Amino acid sequence: MNAIISIEAALPHELFDAARDAVTAWRGRCLDLFSRSETAVTETLLALAALDGRPETIRLPHLVGQRYDALAVAIGPEGPFEKDGKAAFEALARFRQHDLLRTNVAHGVFTVTLDRHGRWHLVSRVLVLRSGCESRSVFVAEQDEAAEILRTLEKNSSRLRSTLGQLRKADPGV
């Protein structure tokens, strides 16, 4: 008698399809928040760079992480917009705590699993090259934890976009 059965054949595909769709929606929402925040950072850099009568130059780099850094220099301690940018600097620092999440959400290869209660878990694997050497990382989150991560990301993204909008409207340094 053959006592080994195929687990794959015993599990309904609908549960996995629903879990995969939920994870894809979660990932999409995270990507949308990152994109909106990145746009706000870029718009702020452009606005600060366009101000007349500013002897300081604002860098406008191509890569997103470098734009975050350029904005932090401009509105941070000893930056030309330190006074007007204090709240935005704090919001930017808080938002930058999601950098690792952004890497995993944007560049990770996701695997979705289900536990025996039907709750999904995601595993994101990222492979990057640093200084010519491979670097691998793994990010794991279960359904409830992922929901909390999204709530925190939504809050921090909203605050960053709001404070950057206020900074642009305030016509800083003029």
At residue 53, does pLDDT exceed 70?
no
At residue 134, does pLDDT exceed 80?
yes
**CA neighbor of 124 nearest in space, from 152, 105, 102:** 105
Q: How far is CA 61 from the centre of its chain?
A: 19
Averaged pLDDT for residues 26-51 = 96
Write down the pLDDT at residue 54: 62
Averaged pLDDT for residues 28-43 = 98
Half-sphere exposure of 98 (CA within 13 A, CB side): 27
Averaged pLDDT for residues 94-104 = 97
pTM, to two decimals: 0.89
- Determine the angle formed by the axes of helices 13-50 and 99-107, rounding to 10 degrees: 120
At residue 142, does pLDDT exceed 90?
yes
- Determine the angle formed by the axes of helices 82-96 and 13-50, rounding to 10 degrees: 160
DSSP 9: H
